[in-house]
Structure 1
Amino acid sequence: MMTPDAVSALAALLGPRFSQNRAERNQHGLSETWFAAAPPDAVVWPETTAEVAAIMQICAAHRLPVVAYGAGSSLEGHTLAVAGGISLDTSRMNRVIEVQAADMQAVVQPGVTREALNSELRATGLFFPVDPGANASLGGMAATRASGTTTVRYGSMRANVLALEVVLADGRVIRTGSRAAKSSAGYDLTALMLGSEGTLGIITELTLRLHGQPEAVSAAVCAFESLQAAVETVMATIQLGIGMARIEFVDADVVRAFNLYAGSQMPEKPHLLVEFHGSPAAVAEEARRFGEVVAEMGGADFNWATTAEARGRLWKMRHAAYPACLASRPGSIGLVTDICVPISRLSEAVEQTRDDIAAEGLSGPILGHVGDGNFHAVLLLQKDNADELARAKRVAARMAKLALALGGTVTGEHGIGIGKRGYMEAEHGQGWQVMGAIKAALDPLGILNPGKVVPDRTQP
């Protein structure tokens, strides 16, 4: 619980931007998926790095846990205040500080969302490509090392964050990285912070790599008779080096959900959703080559989205897959899990997962950013049905075990949070303890997002 002295200090610093209102606390204690609510004791809305540093100094003095909060779109319980304390909401740190068009870079505060940044960049001929689906905050995307539909061409946040400003647990402010294209100057602290999920520091500024808006864009969908044929088409496409900007997979259950939710009229079969970026000639050539692979695998003719509006509708539908799946079983909640495997093992992993979901008697649509071997299962559960939850957890655990057996990882983009923390030792071995040692060195009081990512330890 917060002490009166901590309340007084935070209220004096922030005024009305410090709140213990029950509704605000409850809002910040919810998850997008199946996790139980865990509201903080208070919510704060800083606007500057200096305020974040002052907040951390107060919280360190009172040993008060701090959970950074962006858009709240994470799926593994990352922002739940499982140890109480404060939720540090970055939504008011939402300025695009500078666009350096000549260097193809932008400097932003962490509360800027990816859609807001791209709106700001529209007139520059540049864009920020990482697209996890949700309109997530860029600070949250960095903290979870996010990726998404365009990763197969442009890379994840790891490839697109050049530098960070970070407030540490004791209030110190550090800068990591630089605007240079490369560096060999010591430890890569930027990479350390990416994916740390707010357990090592609070990101207060990001320097991002931008990309040129493609001269030509072409998108299409095509259906397959079987899941295996669709997935093997993805494998063949990647192995042939065909330059895809996006290559997404949805199974027949997801298509059925799309049709009910969005009024689309797609055949209820597995589909690939693809997009090509480049010059008109390059786009036409890559589309031709991909069409040859599809024909060899028995896929149907392409349904092309030939205008920007049609492409927008296509990807809006794809990004709405989660609510569409939930709507397909009214009143359900989701246990959403992801794994990532080498592309050569993708078909095997998807087939085994589908069979396992069926064997457990669950509804579990499968979809994913399969161009980089990453796919998701949306396990649909009745609320308060302990038996279904137990079966879903068994499926998720076996998916994680399968990913490791195939040389992959227990999460390609969701991150760890609460939901995948139990798999960390199996994936990293003693490396997980090393992560705990790094955490202890940077956050000796254990106040930054406790209960997440690293092993439990005795508080000093």
Structure 2
Amino acid sequence: MSKAVAQASGRQEALAELAALLGDRLTTSLPIREAHGRDESWHPVLAPDAVAFATSTEEVAAIMRICARHRFPVIPFGTGTSLEGHISARHGGLCLDLSRMNRIIEVNAADLDVHLEAGVTRKALNVHLRDMGLFFPIDPGADASLGGMAATRASGTNAVRYGTMRENVLNLTAVMADGRIVRTARRARKSSAGYDLTRLLVGSEGTLGVITELTLKLHGIPEAISSGVVSFPNFESAIDAVIATIQSGLPMARIEFLDEVQVAACNRYSKLSLPETPLLLVEFHGSEASVAEQAQRFGLIASEHGGGDFEWATKPEDRTRFWEARHNALYAALALQPGKQGLITDVCVPISRLAEAIKGTKADLAKSSLVAPMVGHVGDGNFHLIMLIDSGKPEELAEAKSIHDRMVTRVLSLDGTCTGEHGIGEGKMAFLEAEHGEGVAVMRAIKRALDPLGILNPGKIFSA
């Protein structure tokens, strides 16, 4: 029997066993398969052979045992909001959709933590917590599933104060490639007991195990929240203000950068009337007195670097208007050239090298024919570029990739990283070795040890 025939036979046997287990929660419908092979990036749609909708950790374990027996690839799926081709079925197989695993199992208000299933989204969690005076701060913009956010080590606008998913996951329940169920830790806030399996799986992008449950840290809703917008004459002044703010130790909750192209897009899309120059969108959390003091101190720093008049928002509806515009930045950018796709990328550098990194990227864009808005969670040195391309025109894709490659190479030379929060997926595999060197060999060894058959999200992070 040829290898191709054996693979086809194994596929059919796997699908038959999965159908017996799941019934109508297994589908081979083409529209559903295509929807599960598409994220929000420019990468081509690669549909799986089937989609399974799991409802419990035990069921995920049973699914993994079937797939392991037949060497059938498994691609975990949350909400499909990733940006580096994480969910494309490069080798076919089963898309394992965890969206129906959406129970909030237990809120431990006294300990400020919550135990939940991986399919719960961040917005659903915060709605559930609101009347308890608690919230979960990690906010990547999209209403992503919390399991997916852990898998990609997500962060977002609040990371400068509250950290990323790495700092906010206490423990995980994961199903390994052979179907074993592993709980990585207990609820204690610190531990020295053995290897840190939680941090190993956070950011593993579905390549080491399927995250099915999480225990997350929570925070009290601040007594006072204040947001504000300040415009600058150029990006250099805005970034200098960011660097001075962070180096001063001012406890910002959020500090976001939008360049003049992105501001114009947000004005048009979100019906704002902001000056179309680079700006910073900031937020402060704390007591009434501390928020007022932080705002005053930031105002002085901004004015010293050429910042204009502030537009402050203390009312919830005004803050929401600003932050919704920021969260809709991608859609605002895409609306600049309807019909085009966004080649979206992110990088991160030490805060002292931020101006240098952005200046080099801006110089490349000045020589380019592409429209490319820039935004950034600049309080931790992270910024994003949205290059608008017609994927049917090879020259535009080539130009965008060239700018992207120079951007990443520049950032690595500044001791930064090729991705601050989007992950590697299939889009940044070429840069992993340049960043980590021999560390990639260690990663491959871990992958082989935990997934010897190579069935967990194959073709992501590295090729084998």
The reply to whether TM is greater than 0.5 is yes
Partner SS for 1:410: coil
Contact 1:53 1:171 in 2 (8 A): yes
- Spell out the pairing of 1:299-338 with structure 2 (5 A cutoff): 299-338=307-346
**Counterpart for residue 14 of structure 2:** 6
Give yes or no for contact 1:331–1:383 (8 Å, CA) kept in 2.
Answer: no
- Is 2:297 the partner of 1:289? yes
Question: Out of 434, 441, 452, which is 1:444 matched to?
Answer: 452
Q: 2:235 aligns with which of 227, 236, 260?
A: 227
Q: Does 1:383 align with 2:394?
A: no
The 1-side partners of 2:177 and 2:102 are apart by 22
**In the alignment, does 2:191 pair up with 1:183?**
yes
* Residue 400 (structure 1) aligns with: 408
2:207 corresponds in structure 1 to 199
Partner of 1:426: 434
**2:134 alignment partner, one of 114, 126, 133:** 126
Between the aligned partners of 2:39 and 2:172, the Cα distance in structure 1 is 27
- How far the C-alpha of 1:430 sits from its partner, in A, is 0.7
Following the alignment from structure 2 to structure 1, what is the Cα–Cα distance between the partners of residues 11 and 280?
Answer: 54
Check conservation: 1:216, 1:279, Cα contact below 8 A. yes
Which amino acid is the alignment partner of residue 161 of structure 1?
A: V
Aligned partners of 2:102, 2:392: CA distance in 1, in Å? 37
Q: Deviations over 1:202-246 (max 9, x none)?
A: 001000000111000000111101010001100000000111000
Query: Which residue identity lines up with residue 188 of structure 1 in the other structure?
Result: D
The residue aligned with 1:412 is 420
Deviation per CA, 1:58-92, whole angstroms, max 9, x where unpaired?
Answer: 00001000000001000000011111001000100
Once the 2 structures are TM-superposed, how far is the Cα of residue 258 of structure 1 from its aligned partner? 0.6
What corresponds to 1:30 in structure 2? 38
SS state of the match for residue 328, structure 1? coil
Q: Could you say what secondary structure the match of 1:316 adopts?
A: helix
Structure 2 CA distance for aligned equivalents of residues 306 and 149 of structure 1: 18
Structure 2: distance between partners of 1:117 and 1:432: 35
Alpha-carbon distance between aligned partners in 1 of 2:138 and 2:11, rounded to the nearest angstrom:
41
Distance 2:271 2:183 in 1: 48
Between stretches 282-291 and 305-314, larger displacement belongs to 305-314
Aligned residues: 456
How far did 1:305 drift?
1.3
Tell me which amino acid in the other structure corresponds to 2:355: S
Structure 1 residue 185 displacement after superposition: 0.7
Name the TM-score, length of structure 2 as normaliser: 0.97
Give 1:112's aligned amino acid. V
Partner secondary structure for residue 225 of structure 1: coil
Deviation track 1:176-224 (CA, whole Å, cap 9, x = no partner) reads 0210010001110000000000000000100000011100000011110
Pair 1:169-2:180 in alignment: no
Deviations 1:250-290 (A, max 9, x none): 00000110111111111110010000000000000000000
Give the 3-state SS of the residue equivalent to 1:177 in structure 2: coil
In structure 2, how many angstroms separate the alpha carbons of the residues matched to 1:376 and 1:3? 40
Assess if the C-alpha contact under 8 Å between 1:110 and 1:140 holds in 2: yes
> Aligned to 1:40, which of 27, 38, 48?
48
Secondary structure of 2:106 counterpart: strand
Q: For 1:328-368, what per-residue CA distance to the aligned partner results, in whole angstroms no more than 9, with x for missing partners?
A: 11111010011000000001111111111222322111111
Partner of 2:410: helix, strand, or coil?
A: helix
Distance in 2, Cα, partners of 1:316 & 1:255: 13
Identity of aligned residues (%): 58
Contact 2:11 2:72 in 1 (8 A): no
Q: Any conservation in 2 of the 1:251–1:367 contact (CA below 8 Å)?
A: yes
Shift of 1:169: 0.2
* Residue of structure 1 equivalent to 2:356: 348
User: 1:240 corresponds to which residue?
Assistant: 248
From 124, 137, 141, the equivalent of 2:149 is: 141
Q: CA deviation at 1:29?
A: 1.2
Unpaired segments ≥5 residues, structure 2? 1-7
Which of 91, 109, 112 does residue 104 from structure 1 map onto? Answer: 112
2:29 is matched with which residue: 21, 28, 33?
21
Distance 1:4 1:60 in 2: 14
Q: Report the residue type matching 1:267 in the other structure.
A: P
TM-score, normalised to structure 1, is 0.98
The Cα RMSD (Å) is 0.8
Q: Distance in 2 between matches of 1:43 and 1:258?
A: 36
- Quote how far apart the aligned CAs of 1:312 are: 1.0
Q: Which whole-Å CA distance do the structure 2 matches of 1:278 and 1:158 have between them?
A: 23
Structure 2 equivalent of residue 60 of structure 1: 68
> Which deviates the most, 26-35 or 285-294?
26-35
Q: What is residue 50 of structure 1 aligned with on the other side?
A: 58
User: How far is the alpha carbon of 1:440 from its aligned partner?
Assistant: 0.3
Q: Is the 8 A contact 2:155 2:164 kept in 1?
A: yes
Q: Is the 8 A contact 2:25 2:54 kept in 1?
A: yes
CA contact (8 A) 2:346 2:382 kept: yes
